[in-house]
Amino acid sequence: MMGASEDAEEFAVDYPENQCFGCSPHNERGMRMRFRSVGPGVVESHHTVEEHLAGAPGVVHGGIQAVLLDEAMGVAIHQSDGGADIDVVTAEFKLRYRRPVATGVPLVVRGTLQRREGRDFWLEGAIVDASGELLTVAEARWRQISTRTPR
């Protein structure tokens, strides 16, 4: 099973200034991730990672897994109530690598907003394979910033 979002409409983070390595549809050297909103503050990306982004052969680099999870979490904030127009940055990010994540196969990357307290947002993330097995899990704290300072 690939998650409950098979039928949800996929979208890109498409605005002119977006050249982000993870999510820009315009960065030809980037990952061009796409997303599906699957509930309040819950976002999935169905993504297959290219081999040039491997660490060991056939295995997605741990830092590239961080890109995947960071993107799903950021979009989860922006898709949540009141999150559309705010600027947020990652403050703390913790990953647990449980099993190797393969390149070249469909993955589901999930970001879930757990709670918000003032300017702080707590999120969980996961990478699962096509059978639903949990490969990597993550927790993060994001912080709203007052200006459009890049992160």
**Which residues contact a copy of itself by CB under 8 A?**
17, 19-22, 27, 29-30, 51-59, 61-71, 89-97, 100, 149-151
Query: How far apart are alpha carbons 42 and 76 in whole angstroms?
Result: 5
Measured from the CB atom, is 40 or 100 closer to a copy of itself?
100
Measured from the CB atom, is 68 or 128 closer to a copy of itself?
68
Query: How far apart are alpha carbons 136 and 46 in whole angstroms?
Result: 15
Measured from the CB atom, is 88 or 128 closer to a copy of itself?
88
- Minimal distance, residue 96 CB to a copy of itself, in Å: 5
Q: Which amino acid is at 119?
A: R
Measured from the CB atom, is 4 or 19 closer to a copy of itself?
19
- Minimal distance, residue 144 CB to a copy of itself, in Å: 14
- Minimal distance, residue 30 CB to a copy of itself, in Å: 6
- Minimal distance, residue 134 CB to a copy of itself, in Å: 15
- Minimal distance, residue 120 CB to a copy of itself, in Å: 14
Query: How far apart are alpha carbons 90 and 74 in whole angstroms?
Result: 8
For the record, the structure tokens of 99 come out as 């099993």
**CB neighbours of 124 closer than 8 A, spacing ≥ 6?**
111, 112, 114, 137, 138, 139, 140
Measured from the CB atom, is 3 or 22 closer to a copy of itself?
22
Q: Using CB atoms within 10 A of its CB, is residue 36 exposed (0-12), middle (13-18) or buried (19+)? A: buried
Q: What are phi and psi of 66, to 5 degrees?
A: -65, -40
